[in-house]
Structure 1
Amino acid sequence: MSENSVVRDEPIAVIGMACRIPGASTPDEFWQLLRNGESAITEIPDDRYAAQLRDAGIRRGGFVREVDTFDPEFFGISPREALAMDPQQRLVLELCWEALESAGVVPARLRDSRTGVFVGAIADDYATLTHQRDRSAITQHTLTGLNRGLIANRVSYALGLRGPSVAVDTGQSSSLAAVHLACESLRRGDTGTALAGGVQLNVAPDGFLAAARFGALSPDGDCFTFDARANGYVRGEGGGLVVLKRLSDALCDGDPVLCVIRGSEANNDGGGDSLTTPAAEGQAALLRAAYERAGVEPSQVQYVELHGTGTKVGDPVEARALGEVLGTGRPAGSPLLVGSAKTNVGHLEGAAGITGLIKTVLALVHGELPASLNHESPHPAIPLADLNLRVQTGLGEWTPDEDAPRRAGVSSFGMGGTNVHVVLEQGPVAESAEAGGQPSVAAGVVPWVLSGRGGAALRGQAERLRAFVAARPELSPVDVGYSLALSRSAFSHRATVVGADREELLQSLEDLASGVVPGAAISSGPTAFLFAGQGAQRLGMGRELYEAFPVFASVFDEVCGGLDRHLDGSVRGVVFGGDAGALDRTVFTQ
């Protein structure tokens, strides 16, 4: 195949995601932060070496809460080993579980499958802290606990996954490079399902000091992306992961398709003015290749999530490449909209690309473009009008012209010149149950099943579910019950709440969360059958189930058909009839 040949990329579906970033512990919380135009940048907390960093002139950053908390037994890890583990390993384990749950995938069903794990990670803060202590801090678990390569391997081991398991380090583009590699693995058939993303936790002062002395940090403690005040970035931390499948497989399996990755590409600048100086030619080549592989005309893209660090050199280079490839071929009155999540949460470095990707997926799903903060006047070296670019400075509806699908690009660039760009498109519109001819479900008592590895975990699940449903009045109780029964792991401590309506179910969840003692399931044992005997029968019993649930009706008819061959009469006719005397005849009663 010649170097100029273009192979169209098979579309990849994003079916689930999870994140833990400044100001947000879930994608829903991240979306609210973005939609409200909020910044999660704060003064450096005292437990993050605030005094030492203030002495160096560093006062602000983006931080996640409770990076020191972890439930090791949930993942089969001893407390002693957990203490020696890099918190980045612990966070990625949690995010993978949450991402699979968001996709409706029970992790146990992936065991022994060709599921791949691709995680971008560039920081070794916990190793730095460990080695600064005396040698007694080195234990039998230190080698595995501090090895960055094991961040992905931990997930593969914990979930029993047999696909590729790769830690990726391309600098600040690592997490988006991990997504690109996961897509390539899916297209080759090496992987059936992939978990991809990145992690960055800034738990030692050294990373702050190194970035400051390199000249990368903003003295103001904010990212002024594409703005005249651009003078560096503010550091952030956290992590994010997406669950990926080939689109054809996702549709066949009935997975929730949040959006589609039409194509992706990675390259290197191949030499600029210095090792760390970006080159517009390299970025422009990346963009052209990405859109060729995706089969998308650059003029069809409505929004690009920038790398957008807010540096004096980097921003103008990125703008020039975007203008050359995506801006100049557009109608004059239809500029390319651009923005950067770094203005909200800081530069997450090893997890920066996945943060921008998750932001853009959320925007595609909700049909809105949130504001890029801190933009008042363009950088003097970025002629926005000439490049046909416009910074998205407010919350706006995302409505493409002529019924075109929403399309976007996401960029992430590494300090050493490794660049990645991903082309996204809104997911296919799912048919409603009514349009698909599915029968409606009659009102009645609905069960919601919950479980946890312990009583406290189960009560926590009840509280989280109550808060989730209470904030979403549009949710159907039946749909919630279906998802809980079929797309959640069943642990040893279990409880079921029942209710005839939403309010009754929410009250039952509140009772469970406040301390009702749950039951513990028996892991194994003999099977028993219980027959009610006589006296439980009544006219019309089962009629509501029969009318509401086709599966129940089909089985009921099948059983009645088998019995009726041996009886003088119809079981269904007697049960659903009006003659109580006939129902009390022993032959029908039993």
Structure 2
Amino acid sequence: MSDTGATAATLSPLKRALVAIETLQARLDEIERARTEPIAIVGVGCRLPGGANSPDEFWTRLRDGVDLISEVPADRWDADAYHDPEQATPGTMSSRDGGFLDQVDRFDPGFFGLSLGEAASMDPQQRLLLEVAWEALEHAGQVPAKLAGTHTDVYVGISTWDYSLLLGGAPIRGLSGTAFSIAANRLSYVFDLHGASLAVDTACSSSLVAVHLACQSLRAGTARTALAGGVNVMLWPETTAAFSQVGMLSPDGRSRTFDASANGYVRGEGAGMVVLKRLSDARADGDRVLAVIRGSAVNQDGHSNGLTAPNSVAQEAVLRAALADARIAPHRVDYVEAHGTGTTLGDPIEVRALAAALGPGRDPDHPLLLGSVKTNTGHLEAAAGITGLIKVALGLHHGEIPPHLHLRELNPHVEWDKLPLRVTTTRTAWPSPAGKRVAGVSSFGFGGTNAHIVLGDAPTDPAPTAPADQRPLRLLTVSGRSEEALRDQARRYADRLAASPTPTLAGLCHTTNARRTHFAHRAAVPVADLTAARAALTALAAGDTPDGLYRAAVPTGTRRRLAFVFPGQGGQHIDMGRELYRTEPVFRRTIDRIAELFDVHHPWRLRDVMYPAEGGVRYPIDETEYAQPTLFAIQCALAETWRSWGVRPDAVMGHSLGEYAAAWVAGVFSLETGVRLIVERGRLTQTLPPTGMMAACSASAEDVAALLDGYAGQVAIAAINGPEHTVISGEKTAVQAVLERLEEDFVLTRPLRVSYASHSPLLEPILDEFEKAITGQDFGEPQIPFMSTYRATMLRSGVCHDPAYWRQQLREPVRFLEATRALAAEGYDTFLEMGPKDTLIEMGKRCLPRGTGRWLRSLDPETGNWQTLLDSAAGLHTHGVDFDWDAFEGAAHPPVDLPTYPFQRRRCWLDPEQIRAHRLTTEDQR
């Protein structure tokens, strides 16, 4: 309606009703969109049989049709002692095989803030969940610390308590080590997640039900991110023996789903976890989407042939409900990952339900494809559903369906020739075009709870084109909680760069910087290409520290106190920062803004002075008229660049001219006011006759002052830059005379590149006019500590408002030595210079005791701009200074596949004698 924007008071009752209806309809449409929005799978973590300890390793084994079943490891139970081919023999098992994990007794307790004793008393299932949750978040490019305090949900499928049985059934150090609820709650506790957190036990469908609950929560808007998965570990032989005695297990230790010889399943163990977001949120966050969940459903068999007997009607119903939730027609489903336990009763029932629900309208030339991951891994029970979901998500991502194993002859109890179904026994290209692939995953609990998930491949909408990467170098970071972990991670990264496909350098560094956690043991290196990156990583893995690589350990609880220091005149040169001006947007915008403000006051253009065109006019940049505004511009642009990267100073300090940029960073005045002050300062000093001179002397201020008694009104100390570093300034003839006397005493002296005698009596003629010119300008209070090198103290309220301060700051000596020592005395330990070269660094180091304070530069005329900048960024990062890595990286990149954290595992297990020592007695429990 044309007048819907009018106020309700100006509308007739009829129009108000129409507006209300339109508003209500819009809200209902919004609710419906949210209720049906696809859920993106943005990260996967898994620990599965046969050494499939990552999504890539799992996919490779699936794709290649690898059987992941093995004989019972000797450290679980004595397979010979428990084996009996007769299934009904009490206390024995007909199979001696299973899908087992390696080193289930090992864990990295320190990584998760646990003691060895606490970790040993925990069910290994909880430990596995902690690891795969961390790995799933890393795979998603999600820094766990950024989720702290958020309403992130956790849903965990879990249904076995073997560790508790192994410990004799009594709680160890309370219930938190073995309680099902804690399996989910511990994840929320460790990661500080404030959303729903619950364990799900519906037996074999537990983890798929967990995914369903997560999807419901995300669509309802109660959470923005969710972790969902499941876990199963086989430790107690009597559990397997019980399954064997009721005829569930295959005597030959293989799940032969859909095969005529199917005789039960083989048990498996493992853990899987997915990171889920609404698709719109995943896109907004720049995440890589592996696949999407389009719909899901859960139901129950109800009263059927038996509590544990499958119900074809209920299975068909859950399929139809999931398709309805997904808004998908049955014939559009390409593939179903079947529950597929490989039993003579269960397989035919499931196939018939699939045919009834998904067969109608299907083209006979495009049958529904079937498979089951249980033929690879065995039946992971509470983790079975998440294992199948991960398989399908990876298949959608890669555009392939892995082969279904152990099928020699189709089950004769299924009328295969009359059903539009086919089992994929070979590696198969996904038959549907990208963006339209659809698959289902089924998981049925033996108590009757059924779950089905409908998935699709990631949308093919073109991602926003990232701006071309103009940086000639990137910063690569690596870290670990220990030196061993740091080196191990470097080795893993180096191996990854040797494999195909290789990531882009920008994608690699964006992932290591912005999408990984930075631990205490750190290394960083600027690199120009992947070859250099791999060489640096290889050296780091070997324990070497080649030139250009920075490494250090940041003590726990370290909070570096960073000061930005701004130099005075003398370091200016043509083309300073030109590479940054061309390639760094924040730097360029700041220079351009200052140039716009400055150019209105002068007939020449600031950028023409700084970056003259080839063959164009080259201005004498060493002259004060040009030097001061260009230095102010460079200093402000560098400071703004660092601040845009999250490197914000705790204090600022400027040397002479540098105090103006320092004051702007501290918030004392606006950029406009700063430019006006610099214009007046440069204009007035340019009017002074060129009879002045400044020189540096390698002598103390006291020794130099003793020589100036005869030169009152002609020469003065202009700066005290160190214990043995003093600058004099004044009338040229008198300064030269003082220098001759100093050189007679073998004192080294050096004239400075300036065109006037700053901080000397020669400035007296312009001071009144300067004070008058800046009176009335807008000044504010420092928003961060502002160390004055004129007063050698922090400026307090009201000082910066007084034009007299800036008058005296121009005339009186720079007390850099005292100011630097005062900063250090207040705990400032890191100093970053904002200038075109390292004018202050060597001076600053001499002001402090050897080995104290860390000094870094922003630019160096002898080195490329990015090389210098990233060298200092590497030094700051490894020193413990925080960055806003998203801002530092600029253009967003989806996370690239990199190895996850190298846990430094150790044995965490309660041996029999420890169990006896730690088991709680009845009296203890009271």
TM-score band by shorter chain is: over 0.9
Corresponding residue of 2:54: 26
Call closer, same or farther: CA 1:508–1:215 in 2, change over 3 Å. Answer: same
**1:412 counterpart letter in structure 2:** S
Indicate conservation of the 8 Å contact 1:84/1:142, yes or no: no
Cα RMSD for the two superposed structures:
2.3
Relative to structure 1, is the Cα distance of residues 582 and 217 closer, same or farther in structure 2, using a 3 angstrom cutoff? Answer: farther
Match of 2:579 among 523, 535, 544: 544
Residue matched to 1:511: 539
1:520 equivalenced with 2:553 (yes/no):
yes
CA contact under 8 A between 1:498 and 1:508: conserved in structure 2? no
1:292-336 per-position Cα deviation (integer Å, ceiling 9, x unaligned): 111100101000001011111111110010011112431222110
CA offsets per residue over residues 25-82 of structure 1, 9 Å max, x none? 1111111111111111112211121343445442211111222221112111111111
Could you list the per-position Cα deviations for residues 404-451 of structure 1 after superposition, in whole angstroms to 9, with x for gaps in the alignment?
A: 600000000011111000011111125255xx3x33123622211122
Aligned length: 576
Please name the residue that 1:420 is paired with. 451
Of the three residues 33, 37, 44, the one matched with 1:17 is 44
Superposition deviation, residue 236 in structure 1 = 0.9
| 1:113 paired to 2:150 | yes
**CA offsets per residue over residues 192-219 of structure 1, 9 Å max, x none?**
2110010011122122212111211111
* Greater mean alpha carbon deviation, residues 388-397 or residues 521-530: 521-530
* Superposition map of 1:362-511 within 5 A: 362-400=394-432, 405-432=436-463, 436=465, 438-442=466-470, 444-511=472-539
Query: What are the superposed Cα offsets for residues 445-469 of structure 1, whole Å, 9 maximum, x if unpaired?
Result: 2211122222222222212222223
State whether residues 208 and 385 of structure 2, in contact with CA within 8 Å, keep that contact through their aligned partners in structure 1.
yes
* Amino acid of the structure 1 residue aligned with 2:105: D
Q: Are residue 201 (structure 1) and residue 228 (structure 2) matched?
A: no
- Alpha-carbon deviation of 1:13? 1.4
1:490 Cα offset (Å): 2.0
Choose which of 263, 267, 280 in structure 1 pairs with 2:299.
267
**Offset of residue 177 of structure 1:** 0.5
SS at match of 1:488: coil
> Which of 287, 298, 302 lines up with 1:255 in the alignment?
287
Alpha-carbon distance in 1 for matches of 2:139, 2:574: 43
Distance 1:329 1:491, change over 3 A: same
Structure 2 residues without counterparts, runs of 5 or longer: 1-31, 85-92, 546-550, 632-926
**Equivalent in 608, 614, 620 of residue 582 of structure 1:** 620
Q: Structure 2 CA distance, aligned partners of 1:485 and 1:569? A: 42
Letter in structure 2 aligned against 1:481: C
Q: Which residue identity is paired with 1:270?
A: G
Runs of 5+ consecutive residues of structure 1 not aligned to the other structure: 1-5
Q: Report if the CA contact (8 A) 2:435-2:460 is conserved.
A: no
Alpha-carbon separation, structure 1, partners of 2:346 and 2:238: 23
Q: Give the deviation of 1:360 after TM superposition.
A: 0.3
- Structure 1 residues 44 and 539: alpha-carbon distance in aligned structure 2, compared to 1, 3 A threshold: farther
- Residue identity opposite 1:576 in structure 2: Y
Q: Contact 1:108–1:159 at 8 Å: present in 2 too?
A: yes
Contact 2:205–2:385 (CA<8 Å) still a contact in 1? yes
- Aligned-partner residue type, residue 145 of structure 2: A
Distance 1:312 1:508, change over 3 A: same
2:20 corresponds to: none
The superposition leaves residues 513-538 of structure 1 with CA deviations (integer Å, 9 ceiling, x where unpaired) of 12147312362132222446677665
Q: Is 2:367–2:420's contact at 8 Å kept on the other side of the alignment?
A: yes
Instruction: Tell me the distance in 1 between the aligned counterparts of 2:198 and 2:461.
Output: 33
Structure 2: distance between partners of 1:175 and 1:77: 26
Separation in structure 2 between the aligned mates of residue 382 and residue 261 of structure 1, nearest angstrom: 30
The more displaced of 29-38 and 523-532 is: 523-532
- Conservation of the 8 A alpha-carbon contact between 1:352 and 1:412: yes
2:81 equivalent among 38, 47, 52: 52
**3-state SS in 2 of match to 1:529:** strand
CA-CA distance at 1:100 after TM superposition: 1.2
Write the distance in 2 (CA, Å) between the matches of 1:516 and 1:205.
48
Cα 1:526–1:131 change in 2 (3 A) is same
Classify the secondary structure of the residue corresponding to 1:471. Answer: coil
1:101: how far off?
1.4
- Other structure's SS at 1:415 match: coil
Q: Which residue of 2 aligns with 1:325?
A: 357
Give the structure 1 partner of residue 592 of structure 2: 557
Indicate conservation of the 8 Å contact 1:441/1:549, yes or no: no
Superimposed CA distance per residue, residues 335-358 of structure 1 (whole angstroms, 9 cap, x where no aligned partner): 100101111111111100000000
The question of whether the paired residues in 1 share the 8 Å contact of 2:313 and 2:353 is answered with: yes
In the alignment, the residues of structure 2 paired with residue 319 and residue 162 of structure 1 have an alpha-carbon distance, to the nearest angstrom, of 41
Give, in angstroms, the shift of residue 564 of structure 1: 5.2
Per the alignment, in what secondary structure is the counterpart of residue 143 of structure 1? Answer: coil
What is the one-letter code of the residue matched to 2:287?
A: D
3-state DSSP of counterpart to 1:337:
strand
Q: 1:213 and 1:440, CA in 2 relative to 1: closer, same or farther beyond 3 A?
A: same
TM-score norm. by structure 2 comes to 0.60
Equivalent residues of 2:297, 2:452 under 8 A apart: yes
From the superposition, tell whether residues 561 and 511 of structure 1 become closer, same or farther in structure 2 (CA, over 3 Å). farther
Larger RCO, structures 1/2 (Cα 8 Å, 6+ apart): 1
Instruction: For 1:332 and 1:585, locate their aligned partners in 2 and report how far apart those are by CA, in whole Å.
Output: 86
Residue type matched to 1:573 in 2? D
Distance (Å, rounded) in 1 between the aligned partners of 2:598 and 2:134: 47
Contact 1:328 1:387 in 2 (8 A): no
Q: Which amino acid aligns with 1:375?
A: L
Contact residue 85 and residue 142 of structure 1 kept, 8 A: no
- 1:564–1:512: structure 2 CA closer, same or farther, 3 Å change rule? farther
Change (3 A) 1:537 1:447: farther
- The higher radius of gyration belongs to 2
- After superposition, residues 566-581 of structure 1 pair within 5 angstroms as 569-577=604-612
Q: Which secondary structure state, in structure 2, belongs to the residue aligned with residue 264 of structure 1? A: strand
Q: Is the 8 A contact 2:609 2:619 kept in 1?
A: no
Tell which deviates more after alignment, 471-480 or 40-49: 471-480
* Alpha-carbon distance in structure 1 between the residues aligned to 2:606 and 2:497: 41
Cα separation, partners in 2 of 1:266 and 1:576, compared to 1, 3 Å: same
Structure 2 vs 1, CA of residues 551 and 304 (structure 1 numbering), >3 Å: closer, same or farther? farther
Structure 1 CA distance for aligned equivalents of residues 389 and 501 of structure 2: 28
The AA in structure 2 aligned to 1:72 is P
Tell me if 1:290 matches 2:322.
yes
Paired with 1:212 and 1:539, the residues of 2 have a C-alpha distance of 83
SS of the aligned residue for 1:167 comes to strand
Structure 1 444/268 Cα, relative in aligned 2: closer, same or farther at 3 Å? same
Answer whether contact 1:324 1:387 (CA < 8 A) is retained. Answer: no
Q: Distance in 2 between matches of 1:334 and 1:321?
A: 18
Matched residue type, 2:81: Q
Q: Within 2, Cα distance between the matches of 1:314 and 1:81? A: 42
> For residue 104 of structure 2, what is the aligned residue in structure 1?
67
Sequence identity, in percent? 48
Bigger mean CA deviation after superposition, 578-587 or 285-294: 578-587
* Aligned match of 2:641: none
CA distance 1:80–1:565, shift in 2 (3 Å): farther
Secondary structure of the equivalent of 2:539? helix
State the secondary structure of the residue aligned to 1:239.
strand
Is the CA contact (8 Å cut-off) linking 2:362 and 2:420 kept in structure 1? yes
Letter in 2 for 1:166: L
